[in-house]
Chain A
């Protein structure tokens, strides 16, 4: 019984949140990796682009709520995602056409494009602040819990409760659907294959008649899906605060690099690696050990390796370690 309690405790406070957070990171990491693989630069505007897409979802949610459209037990935000994605894609294509395209045509060095993306990041941040402001916003409605701790305790008779928030379930389901469609698209369709071919060998792709403009456009469209969905899921689960998205860029880049930058499946797994590492290292295990150890050995301290304030140090450390020892990423696999 004690063992079971300990396991439920761990499941509730680390594994379930880590899977959720990992899914959100994974979507961002695939976005980073895709842009890097096809357009060949590190997009520092990743976090703020995710924030930008989410902003539309937030605003539309408020609007839908005001006119009484909703999804019942599901969050209204799900209904707004398609519109937010369209707005996001339009913004990305606009930016690409007026900013990135110029440097791409000039065949600028990747580092130059990365610096340009920093500029895009600042502009995007400013736009977001003008439109919605820097404040923390909650836009989750509908049923908050699928499984409440009290219900779980009643069902099982355990001391520890297991909570599953609806946002956690939605995150996992939506991520699985989106990522499955993406991998099917990249690996099984003619357009997806042409994207991978373009990423692998640009000159030969041109000689094979692949249209680079089309590849770039499709890349941004996919990026729009990933950025918006990833951003909205994160915002629903925590809350929408523009600056947090900028902060999330570190774990997102870490995930992309852990997975081998340019490798979408690696980025997907990398998201979970980072999320689990972050949560396992910052969780206070005191209660966990209280269940498992005899009373005489019970720990006095929190048994927390790092304070949650330092959670970014975890992704940063992983990033450094991977770059030092396995710069090509820890997962084998095809690049985009």
Chain B
């Protein structure tokens, strides 16, 4: 039994066909899990199903032993599940600090302490705290997005392609940040296109094909599995 589980999830958009079929994703606190697979495999859909952005036809989502399949995304956020979408994941017209404050909207206690922690994690944000996020670089924006999601002190962080559209150097930097987040005892699920790099920092990985679990294993196992290499990692 893992801390956060999506068990045998089947779901699709509206009345359309099922995008994911009996798909299972599990993550524990302090662990990074990568969801990989070709385009259209249902990677993002699996994540959105776990967040409640689309309804399950069957299967369940469980956090810390508690069934949350029927909860709205907002209520799941209150359970400590935070999500960073792939696009439009920051408030571009607000300052860095305001982004963090909005991230902590549900918190009743003193926000300043949490903001200090985020600043320690991402020092650049402290430097740019009063700058409007729309004026920041892509890599800095992603840090704002991560910081905003961390403001509720989540136990689970879900990242939809965190390194999409950033340069390789910035990608490495972002992965370092993601490792730092993991070390604060947060469970991380991420969908990634950069499969090799993602697996190199992941504890485990799932490879989805047409909405079903095809392979799973530790990062090293998947990286060294000849079939996975041939089909998904480009030899």
Q: Residues of A with Cβ closer than 8 Å to B?
A: 190, 193-194, 196-197, 200-201, 203-210, 334-335
Contacts and interface: CB of A to CB of B under 8 A. Distances in A.
Interface in B91-125: 91-94, 98, 101-103, 105-106
B60 interface: no
Given A190-B105, A209-B74, A209-B78, A196 B93 contact: yes
Contacts of B73: 206-207
10 smallest beta-carbon distances between A and B, as pairs: A209-B106, A197-B102, A200-B93, A200-B91, A209-B105, A197-B91, A208-B105, A335-B93, A208-B102, A201-B91
Contacts of A210: 102, 105
A106 to B, nearest CB: 15
Contacts of B148: 204, 208
A197 B94 contact: yes
A173 B102 CA distance: 33
A206 B74 contact: yes
B102 A205 contact: yes
A183 to B, nearest CB: 15
Interface of B: 73-74, 77-78, 83, 85, 88-94, 98, 101-103, 105-106, 132, 148, 152
B93 A193 contact: no
Residue from B88, B90, B93, B148 having most chain A Cβ neighbours under 10 A: B93
Nearest to A37: B93
Contacts, number: 59
Contacts of A206: 73-74
A110 to B, nearest CB: 18
Given A190-B105, A209-B78, 6 more contacts: A193-B98, A193-B102, A197-B91, A200-B93, A206-B73, A209-B105
Contacts of B103: 208
A303 B85 CA distance: 61
B75 to A, nearest CB: 9
A122 to B, nearest CB: 34
A201 B98 contact: no
A93 to B, nearest CB: 23
Given A190-B101, A193-B102, A197-B102, A207 B94 contact: no
B171 to A, nearest CB: 22
Contacts of B83: 207
A204 B101 contact: no
Nearest to A187: B98
A193 B98 CA distance: 7
B92 A200 contact: yes
Contacts of B106: 208-209
Contacts of A209: 74, 77-78, 105-106, 152
Contacts of B101: 190, 193
Contacts of A194: 102, 105
B77 A207 contact: yes
A331 to B, nearest CB: 14
7 contacts: A193-B98, A197-B98, A200-B94, A205-B91, A206-B73, A209-B106, A334-B94
Given A209-B77, A334-B132, A204 B91 contact: yes
Contacts of B93: 196, 200, 334-335
B126 to A, nearest CB: 19
Residue from A197, A200, A206, A207 having most chain B Cβ neighbours under 10 A: A207
A207 B52 CA distance: 11
A208 B94 contact: no
Residue from B74, B105, B106, B148 having most chain A Cβ neighbours under 10 A: B105
A186 to B, nearest CB: 11
A190 B105 CA distance: 8
B102 A203 contact: no
Nearest to A205: B102
A197 B91 CA distance: 6
A201 B85 CA distance: 12
A179 to B, nearest CB: 20
Contacts of A193: 94, 98, 101-102
A330 B78 CA distance: 42
A189 B171 CA distance: 35
Residue from A196, A201, A205, A210 having most chain B Cβ neighbours under 10 A: A201
Nearest to B89: A204
A193 B93 CA distance: 11
Contacts of B88: 201, 203-204
Nearest to B95: A334
A201 B133 CA distance: 13
Nearest to A207: B83
A334 B157 CA distance: 30
A206 B148 CA distance: 13
A194 B91 CA distance: 10
